[in-house]
């Protein structure tokens, strides 16, 4: 009939997805994102396509009337190459780590990434403490195989000082036993070091008070931290010097 508009069929509404389907889609999406990030992280860093890099050379005065150009690239090849540690790619579920204590899986761990271990149990100690308390030398920390891993942290006492090196206490204790062999040997070395420190302290004190007048000497004894035996020895030595 003229003048009547034909009815437009209504658009069919899409069926709603179930909660299980939505969850599955989200899991697939997250896995695809992680795989893509892993592929991007595994690609070696390269100069941009079509880009040109200019070689930087350093001019050295030979002292013979001419200059020598030295490429910095060659210096880097001859020197020690720095090992750059990149952050690992995202971990997918089949590669989850397993806790050594509770056997539960977990995706990421700061201690595991930094020290290959999973915290009073995994305490960190500074390099100074490792050298003073455990009597380790620089070569024991850096040269002995395998070199101990560490993390860098701003010094809390003064931000202008250099960064602190923090080591895993378990690994420091293990290295200490490798160096000293037993707790008894370590304790004996500590006692020997303390005795030597006291002897050196006594020698410095004797050198300092040599030639002092008796009044100044007695005042120094009164205000010093020396024990009674050391004070008696100093008094005897001073009297002998005064009578000679």
Q: What's the confidence (pLDDT) of residue 20?
A: 79
Q: What's the confidence (pLDDT) of residue 170?
A: 87
What residue ranges define each of the domains in the chain, with the CATH number in brackets? 93-180 (3.90.530.10), 198-243 (no CATH)
d(CA 215, CA 230): 18
Q: What's the confidence (pLDDT) of residue 77?
A: 46
Q: What's the confidence (pLDDT) of residue 79?
A: 47
Burial 23-33 (b: 16+ CB within 10 A, else e): eeeeeeeeeee
Q: What's the confidence (pLDDT) of residue 178?
A: 92
Q: What's the confidence (pLDDT) of residue 136?
A: 92
Closest alpha carbon to 100 in 112, 92, 82 = 112
Please enumerate in sequence order all residues whose Cβ is within 8 A of that of 60, keeping only pairs 6 or more positions apart, or say none: 67, 68, 69, 70
Predicted TM-score (pTM) of this structure: 0.43
d(CA 150, CA 83): 14
**Tens digits of pLDDT across the chain (244 residues):** 455 555 555 555 556 778 878 888 888 888 888 877 777 776 655 445 455 555 555 666 655 555 666 554 444 444 455 555 555 555 555 555 666 666 666 555 656 655 555 455 678 889 999 999 999 999 999 999 899 988 888 888 887 888 889 998 888 999 999 999 899 999 999 999 998 988 888 888 777 766 666 656 666 666 565 555 666 666 666 666 655 5
């Amino acid at each position: 009939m003229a003048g009547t508009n034909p009815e437009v069929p209504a658009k069919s509404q899409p069926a709603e997805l179930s909660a299980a389907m939505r969850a599955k889609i989200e899991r697939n999406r997250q896995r695809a994102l992680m795989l893509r990030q892993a592929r991007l992280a595994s690609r070696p860093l390269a100069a941009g396509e079509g880009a040109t890099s200019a070689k930087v050379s350093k001019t050295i005065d030979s002292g013979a009337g001419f200059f020598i150009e030295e490429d910095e690239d060659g210096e880097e090849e001859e020197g020690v190459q720095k090992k750059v540690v990149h952050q690992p790619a995202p971990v997918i579920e089949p590669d989850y780590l397993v806790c050594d204590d509770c056997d539960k899986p977990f995706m990421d761990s700061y201690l595991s990434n930094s020290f290959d271990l999973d915290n009073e149990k995994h305490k960190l100690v500074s390099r100074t403490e490792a050298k003073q308390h455990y009597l380790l030398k620089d070569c024991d920390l850096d040269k002995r195989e395998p070199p101990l891993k560490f993390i860098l942290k701003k010094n809390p006492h003064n931000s202008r000082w250099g960064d602190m090196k923090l080591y895993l206490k378990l690994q420091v204790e293990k290295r200490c036993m490798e160096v000293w062999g037993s707790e008894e040997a370590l304790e004996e070395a500590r006692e020997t070091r303390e005795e030597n420190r006291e002897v050196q302290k006594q020698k410095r004190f004797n050198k300092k008070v040599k030639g002092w007048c008796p009044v100044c000497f007695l005042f120094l004894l009164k205000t010093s931290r020396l024990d009674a035996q050391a004070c008696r020895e100093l008094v005897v030595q001073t009297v002998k010097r005064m009578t000679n």
